[in-house]
């Protein structure tokens, strides 16, 4: 077990000649690359996962089971044993013990995998210092596979002078090598340069950068072990602050780069938009009017708008997008309106077609399900400028698609699209030099901390009012054992003219799942039999586009009373008469999905109910989710809880691939640092003494790659 030998040897922090910042041992370079380490300076930001306290030696007589400790002594017995399995065993006694008494405590060292170097180092009479976790063995206390150091003299071996760092690693990279590299990295100039002005450090009570690196890689105070491992130590706060500051500055940098581009200054004629408002069967809320004003103000500028319009389910984002599209059309520009699924895109197409019927606006539908001839015809309409509003899915990304005068891109459920996809759509503007404006819609409310951290480069409008006349949705938690009772209530409601969604997590039964789940196909067959004189339909993602469209049209027209479906109806479906939602195995859905599904009802004037059927055995996380969705209708509260339970990665979706990510800061736990970093970014943007480029180079690589998205 060669790797164990000398692992406790400390790298002395002695003055050396300056090292090139790219220096890494050639044999380790490919392996270190897997950890994101390309240069020696990168190791400075490769912080320990935990620490071993090898700073104090504990006498054998004082050892406690469960402790990880340094012990020293003399090898009294050593041999290779073969029962119950091959192993090497050594017995160690204290230096001041002559071994004459059987009652003097001994420590057993046990190796199940060992090499000749182990046997040689642990010969009888050798003085050793070992480190490991004490456990109860067959013959007393023992350490399995301890780290050790041999000493030729019988005198006491000095303990370590700092806590011993344990780093995230990869196959073939010894911890000793990472410690050596870290000791070298925190002595090179660029790695320890402190870019942060003293005034900000003092205001936020942050240590200097050199002190931060020293305290994290080589902490000398064992009493701080708990705060180091919980990442509440002042050094960790400095790391998190700098990381958040870099994120803020990079996002602002991206926003500034976009602002430097030229976009069409769209000035609507107000010839069509007022006609749409007149024919709407509702009056815009104050929040909708405010959002429209934000968008029109941005469109009038000659720099590209990048605005996020967020609002809870049913808050009326689509009509704001429609009025923005009409502003572009009135000014002579084209609009690309994109949605992540064909069902949602088609809902938008049908809704806009209805709203704009007989108005001088040419709509075009472009999706993958169209025939080659239909797609080619739609592409030609876009290219010639005949299609004023093109609505579709990922088909709008195709290289064959181009626009004569693309002025506005609307992206619904924007978190489902990656940055690369939005860039591709913006590039479909043909030969025009002007960049189109971008309006992104999201029905997933973003918690304040997430918005400040990951959306600092966007202008945000919030629709925080629900259209008048809508009734709050009643949410009920019901055991799946009472499914037959729910079916009876749905049947009665359907016979009285009501409509219901019944959502299942699967299309068909699966043999791969340990738990039996209610699948949509089986439920559909059951309800068709048990609900005579009521039309039940089945909808799922494997159906072709024409089938799905026809079923949805029948449901909208109340020709179908009960729609058994998978989550394809999660977003975009708007059927005001549907006032019942039943969700099978609700414990298997995320909070965002449950909130979106519940939002399919409550769109009319009738009281609506959402029933969450759950299994008897629930995990703690599932209980948390169901409790949150049961107690809250506010999407922002639900999103905040979702962030707490899941973390930001899943909430952000593919957008995260284009946003400087966070390795160390937690935006929910470190909200005070998010706010402090935002304020510091405001100061430093105009501070000529702050080397922003070098600071960002330390923290964020390739930060301009998606600056235009």
Strand arrangement, sheet containing 389-392 = 363-366, 389-392, 334-338, 406-411, 437-442, 306-311, 459-463
The enclosing H or E element of 477 equals strand 473-479
For residue 185, the model assigns a pLDDT of 92
Report the pLDDT value the prediction gives residue 422, as an integer from 0 to 100. 54
Is 60-151 in CATH node 1.10.287.40? no
Q: What element of type H or E holds 120?
A: helix 116-121
Q: State how far the Cα of 319 lies from the Cα of 599, in Å rounded to an integer.
A: 17
Domains 273-463 and 473-632 share a fold: yes
Tell me the C-alpha distance between 251 and 707, whole Å: 8
Domain boundaries, the chain: 2-52+164-230, 60-151, 273-463, 473-632
Sign, CA torsion 147/150/156/160: negative
Closest by Cα among 448, 466, 465 to 456: 448
The CATH architecture annotation of domain 273-463 reads: 3-Layer(aba) Sandwich (3.40)
Q: Which stretches of the chain drop beneath a pLDDT of 50? A: 1-17, 153-157, 431, 510-515, 654-658, 702-709
Helix/strand/coil for 192: helix
Give the per-residue pLDDT at 464.
84
**How many other CB atoms sit within 10 Å of the CB of residue 398?**
15
The CA distance from 257 to 505, in Å, is: 43
Decide which of 3.40.50.9100, 3.30.1330.10, 3.40.50.300, 3.40.50.10260 is the CATH code for 473-632.
Answer: 3.40.50.300
Considering the entire predicted model, what is its pTM? 0.70
Question: Which residues touch 447 (CB under 8 Å, ≥6 apart)?
Answer: 636, 639, 640, 643, 668
Contacts of 439 (CB under 8 A, 6+ apart): 295, 305, 307, 309, 321, 324, 408, 409, 410, 411
DSSP letter string, 336-391: EEE-SSHHHHHHHHHHHHHHTTTSS--EEEE-TTS-HHHHHHHHHHHHHT--SEEE
């Amino acid at each position: 077990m060669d790797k164990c030998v000398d692992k406790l040897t400390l790298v002395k922090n002695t003055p050396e000649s300056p090292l090139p910042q790219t220096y890494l041992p050639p044999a380790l370079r490919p392996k270190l690359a897997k950890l994101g380490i390309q240069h020696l300076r990168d190791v400075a930001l490769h912080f320990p996962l935990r620490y071993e306290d090898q700073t104090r030696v504990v006498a054998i007589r004082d050892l406690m089971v469960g402790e990880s400790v340094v012990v020293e002594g003399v090898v009294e017995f050593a041999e290779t044993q073969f029962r119950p399995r091959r192993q090497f065993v050594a017995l160690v006694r204290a230096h001041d013990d002559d071994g004459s008494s059987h009652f003097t405590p001994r420590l057993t060292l046990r190796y199940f995998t060992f090499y000749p170097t182990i046997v040689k180092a642990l010969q009888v009479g050798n003085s050793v210092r070992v480190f490991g976790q004490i456990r109860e063995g067959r013959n007393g206390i023992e350490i399995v596979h301890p780290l050790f150091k041999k000493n030729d003299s019988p005198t006491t071996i000095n303990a370590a002078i700092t806590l011993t760092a344990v780093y995230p690693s990869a196959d073939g990279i010894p911890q000793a090598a990472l410690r050596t590299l870290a000791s070298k990295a925190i002595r090179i100039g660029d790695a320890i340069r402190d870019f942060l002005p003293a005034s900000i450090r003092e205001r936020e009570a942050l240590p200097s950068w050199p002190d931060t690196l020293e305290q994290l890689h080589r902490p000398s105070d064992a009493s701080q072990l708990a705060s180091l491992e919980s990442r509440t130590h002042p050094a960790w706060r400095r790391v998190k602050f700098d990381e958040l500051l870099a994120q803020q500055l990079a996002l602002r940098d991206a926003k500034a780069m976009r602002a430097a581009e030229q976009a069409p200054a769209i000035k609507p004629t107000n010839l069509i938009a007022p006609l749409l408002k007149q024919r709407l069967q509702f009056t815009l809320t104050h929040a909708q009017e405010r959002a429209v004003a934000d968008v029109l103000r941005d469109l009038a500028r000659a720099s590209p708008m990048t605005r996020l319009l967020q609002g809870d389910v049913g808050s009326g984002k689509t009509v704001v997008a429609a009025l923005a599209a009409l502003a572009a059309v009135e000014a002579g520009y084209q609009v690309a309106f994109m949605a992540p699924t064909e069902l949602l895109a088609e809902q938008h197409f049908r809704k806009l077609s209805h709203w704009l019927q007989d108005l001088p606006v040419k709509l075009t539908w472009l999706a993958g399900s169209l025939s080659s001839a239909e797609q080619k015809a739609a592409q030609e309409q876009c290219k010639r400028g005949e299609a004023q509003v093109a609505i579709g899915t990922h088909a709008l990304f195709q290289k064959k698609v181009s626009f004569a005068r693309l002025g506005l891109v609307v992206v619904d459920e924007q978190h489902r699209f990656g940055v690369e996809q939005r860039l591709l759509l913006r590039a479909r503007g043909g030969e025009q030099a002007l960049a189109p404006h971008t309006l992104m819609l999201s029905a997933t409310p973003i918690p304040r901390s997430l918005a400040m951290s990951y959306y600092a480069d966007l202008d945000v409008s919030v629709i925080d009012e629900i259209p008048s006349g809508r009734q709050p949705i009643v949410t009920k938690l019901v055991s799946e054992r009472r499914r037959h009772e729910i079916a009876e209530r749905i049947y009665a409601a359907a016979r009285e003219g009501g409509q219901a969604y019944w959502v299942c997590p699967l299309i068909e039964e699966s043999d791969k799942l340990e738990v039996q789940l209610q699948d949509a196909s089986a439920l559909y067959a059951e309800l068709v039999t048990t609900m005579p004189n009521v039309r039940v339909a089945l909808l799922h993602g494997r159906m072709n586009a024409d089938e799905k469209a026809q079923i949805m049209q029948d449901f909208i027209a109340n020709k179908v009373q009960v729609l058994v479906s998978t989550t394809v109806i999660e977003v975009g479906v708007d059927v005001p008469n549907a006032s019942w939602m039943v969700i099978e195995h609700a414990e298997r859905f995320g909070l965002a999905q449950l909130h979106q599904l519940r939002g399919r009802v409550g769109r009319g004037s009738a009281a609506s109910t959402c029933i969450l059927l759950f299994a008897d055995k629930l995990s703690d996380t599932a209980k948390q989710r169901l409790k949150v969705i049961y107690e809250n209708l506010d999407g922002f509260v639900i999103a905040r809880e979702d962030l707490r339970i899941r973390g930001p990665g899943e909430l952000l979706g593919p957008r995260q691939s284009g946003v400087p990510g966070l390795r160390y800061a937690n935006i929910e736990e470190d909200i005070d640092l998010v706010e402090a970093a935002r304020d510091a970014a405001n100061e430093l943007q105009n501070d000529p003494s702050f080397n922003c480029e070098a600071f960002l180079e330390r923290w964020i690589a390739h930060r301009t790659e998606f600056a235009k998205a």
